[in-house]
């Protein structure tokens, strides 16, 4: 009889242990597992191609690490102020390879000249030749002066209308953004050198200066002067006219009078 009690006690103990282990296993199964997470930058709105990313266009969000995109940005400092190179939707992770800057060659190449313009400036293309374009020696990043020669209205000693050939310094220290299409190669007589000749120069100007240049192109002839790389001095030379006249001659650098021809 005593053995029966002992066996019963052992069975009760084993059963208790089994029940406790089963309960612990159920508790472990019910408890959610800790999932590794990573904080990434996501878009709050759809962002188009070539748009500078502002603070209100992105935010930080914690996501499971297994769902983090390759190369995902993890701080707002990585993203804000950069150029978005590809269109993206709202709630999309921002990756580092879709970001660029105004100086990024992968953005400014392929015609994206707008990224290299300073705020308030405009790009303007002017036709040129071997003579007016400094023989093909101007390159992107150089600075040039622009001369204008045209016939200006004036009065002779009798007060009658005449035209006066005039040369004036239209603009100084203008940045060259790009040179135009290469149309020919200029080679020295001995064949030692070859210079590529372009048909135009694209320059960076203010809107008022663009108006002056367009007027000068329509009614006169432009020539470029190549400046030294370390010369930013503004010379402002006086206009050169063929002959002095009693009446003042209006320079193309001045705004024409309202209603004038």
Lowest-pLDDT range, 131-145, 149-163, 216-230?
149-163
pLDDT in tens, 220-261: 999 999 999 889 899 899 988 875 444 444 555 554 433 333
Average pLDDT of the chain, as a whole number:
80
pLDDT surpassing 90 at residue 170 = yes
Q: What's the rounded Cα separation, in Å, for the pair 33 and 142?
A: 63
The pair of structure tokens assigned to 126 is: 């002017």
Q: Is the pTM of this model over 0.75?
A: no
Asked whether 62 and 87 are in contact (CB, 8 A), the reply is no
Class in CATH terms, 40-105 = alpha beta
User: Which segments of 121-160 are extended strands (E)?
Assistant: 122-127, 143-155
Q: Between the ranges 28-37, 126-135, 187-196, where is the mean pLDDT highest? A: 126-135
pLDDT reported for residue 72: 93
Instruction: Determine the average pLDDT of the residues in 126-149.
Output: 91
How far, in Å, are 146, 154, 155, 187, 223 from residue 226 at the CA level? 9, 31, 35, 20, 10
Q: What angle do CA 223, 171, 150 make, to 5 degrees?
A: 50
pLDDT reported for residue 111: 58
pLDDT reported for residue 247: 43
- Within the chain, residue ranges assigned H as helices are 2-30, 105-108, 207-219
How far, in Å, are 110, 147, 205, 213, 214 from residue 208 at the CA level? 28, 17, 8, 9, 10
Number of Cβ within a 10 Å radius of residue 126: 20
- 118 or 244: which leads in pLDDT: 118
Query: How do the domains of the chain map onto residue ranges?
Result: 40-105, 116-241
pLDDT in tens, 173-215: 999 998 887 665 555 566 655 566 788 999 999 999 999 999 9
The pair of structure tokens assigned to 216 is: 């000068």
């Amino acid at each position: 009889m005593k053995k029966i009690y002992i066996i019963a006690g052992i069975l009760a103990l084993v059963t208790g242990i089994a029940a406790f282990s089963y309960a612990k296993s159920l508790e472990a199964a019910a408890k959610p597992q800790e999932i590794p997470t990573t904080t990434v930058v996501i878009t709050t709105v759809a962002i188009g191609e070539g748009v500078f990313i502002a603070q209100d266009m992105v935010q930080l969000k914690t996501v499971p690490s297994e769902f983090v995109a390759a190369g995902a940005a993890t701080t707002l400092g990585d993203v804000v102020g950069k150029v978005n190179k590809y269109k993206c939707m709202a709630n999309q992770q921002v990756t580092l390879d879709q970001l660029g800057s105004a100086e990024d060659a992968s953005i400014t190449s392929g015609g994206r000249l707008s990224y290299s313009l300073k705020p308030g400036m405009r790009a303007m293309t002017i036709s040129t030749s071997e003579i007016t374009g400094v023989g093909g020696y101007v390159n992107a990043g150089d600075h040039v002066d622009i001369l204008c020669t045209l016939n200006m209205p004036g009065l002779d000693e009798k007060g009658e209308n005449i035209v006066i050939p005039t040369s004036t310094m239209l603009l100084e220290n203008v940045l060259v953004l790009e040179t135009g299409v290469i149309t020919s190669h200029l080679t020295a007589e001995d064949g030692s050198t070859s210079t590529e000749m372009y048909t135009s120069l694209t320059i960076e100007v203010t809107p008022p200066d663009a108006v002056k240049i367009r007027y000068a192109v329509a009614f006169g002839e432009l020539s470029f002067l190549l400046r030294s790389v370390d010369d930013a001095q503004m010379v402002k030379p006086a206009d050169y006219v063929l002959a002095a006249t009693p009446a003042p001659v209006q320079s193309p650098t001045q705004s024409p009078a309202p209603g004038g021809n």
